[in-house]
Chains A and B, each alone.
Chain A
């Protein structure tokens, strides 16, 4: 199982989405985001741009380290999605 923790500002955009999501084991961050998008269509567009990459002001942490889309996930990984400091 992959555990994904989502930021409040993201789940507000997807009615019914929880802050804490349990997914079947995902092999990479990209696969975990694809699984999120399957449950809440459009969530990938909010987290990733078309280059493709995690958006500049979104931080994804795996095992305490900033991750990229191709970062592998071990079984039972915890993925923390956070909004970076931004705005004005």
Chain B
């Protein structure tokens, strides 16, 4: 696959782009800050046409989705329709973006809710069915607020979507958002009394991803454990044995192998939330979570007190797959060999909220 590879970074002070040669993935150049240095929670790209969207929110001017059709050289922005209406709480920020199979764009926001755009992000419509779910009165804000942070569209059926809400859990729609079902069976809530730890909803999902080529296989990093589902989230199995911690934020799937997953466990929710023993490692499974291997070569192995947020790790579609993560301390680490070796390709950036990849023609 020839061309250029772009790493799209959402940070606390704008979006940035790290650009390199897709053939070598060796030299990277940084551009930015974009989006007028607004906090950007998530930036995504469409490989089909090269469009980039960045979602965020500014304390002064509210939520917006920014768009660039020239690889970041120029941007427009819109918040049109990003409102729950009169008397409802204002939306603080856009947290997550994803493209549906029919080309529509989904946006997850804070406070938790879902919006859809059918004009490429120029205007937005509230998907009311999710907030109409009877469980909503019981949704609780997590440490990052009451946020809809994970959007997992079905790859071929535009009416199916899984979302992750902190702290409400995973929900699924099969009718384009009109009705929703909780999909949390088997994921636990260590923060509830012992006899209430497996509720229908209320779990603190941190990151939800789908295995390539297997729409029924989902992986979930949770505040309380790591899980796999092979039935579209109807039931979940713990796959945390062998990991150094049950706590972490990001999960990233391989572009082609549904058995491979990359995680970046942190030391625990009340232990500082940095990499265990201050030694950085990406943990990889090649057998859908049965066993785990720490990938450390090239990563800091002493005095590393950083964390990595839920949307801040990604893979690229190249062969072998590249893996990337951005830290809360503003560094980006890259592996061009599926996690075997790593190097730091940027540092001193603002706190990184998200990392995504985009491969475009040269």
Contacts and interface: CB of A to CB of B under 8 A. Distances in A.
22 contacts: A9-B36, A10-B60, A12-B36, A13-B77, A42-B79, A45-B64, A45-B78, A45-B79, A45-B82, A46-B79, A47-B61, A49-B62, A50-B83, A50-B85, A50-B86, A51-B86, A51-B89, A55-B62, A57-B60, A58-B60, A84-B60, A87-B59
Interface of B: 36, 59-62, 64, 77-80, 82-91
A57 B90 CA distance: 13
A28 interface: no
B60 A83 contact: yes
B59 A86 contact: yes
Give 7 closest A-B pairs by Cβ, nearest first. Answer: A50-B83, A49-B90, A45-B79, A46-B61, A86-B59, A83-B60, A57-B60
Would you call the interface of chain A mostly helix, strand, loop, or mixed? loop
A16 interface: no
Contacts of A45: 62, 64, 78-80, 82
Contacts of A64: none
Chain A interface residue bracket vs B: 20 to 34
Interface in A56-88: 56-58, 83-84, 86-87
Contact of B87 (A13, A51, A55, A87): A51
- Counting chain A CB atoms within 10 Å of each CB, the highest count among B59, B61, B80, B87 belongs to B61
Contacts of A9: 36, 60-61
Contacts of B77: 13, 42
Given A9-B36, A46-B62, A51-B87, 17 more contacts: A10-B60, A10-B61, A42-B78, A45-B80, A45-B82, A46-B61, A47-B61, A50-B83, A50-B86, A50-B91, A51-B88, A55-B60, A55-B62, A55-B90, A56-B59, A56-B90, A58-B60
A47 B266 CA distance: 39
Given A49-B83, A50-B84, A51-B88, A13 B36 contact: yes
Nearest to B75: A13
Contacts of B36: 9, 12-13
A9 B83 CA distance: 22
B80 A50 contact: no
B230 to A, nearest CB: 41
A65 to B, nearest CB: 20
Contacts of B91: 49-50
Nearest to A7: B60
A87 to B, nearest CB: 6
Contacts of B64: 45
A49 B62 CA distance: 7
B111 to A, nearest CB: 12
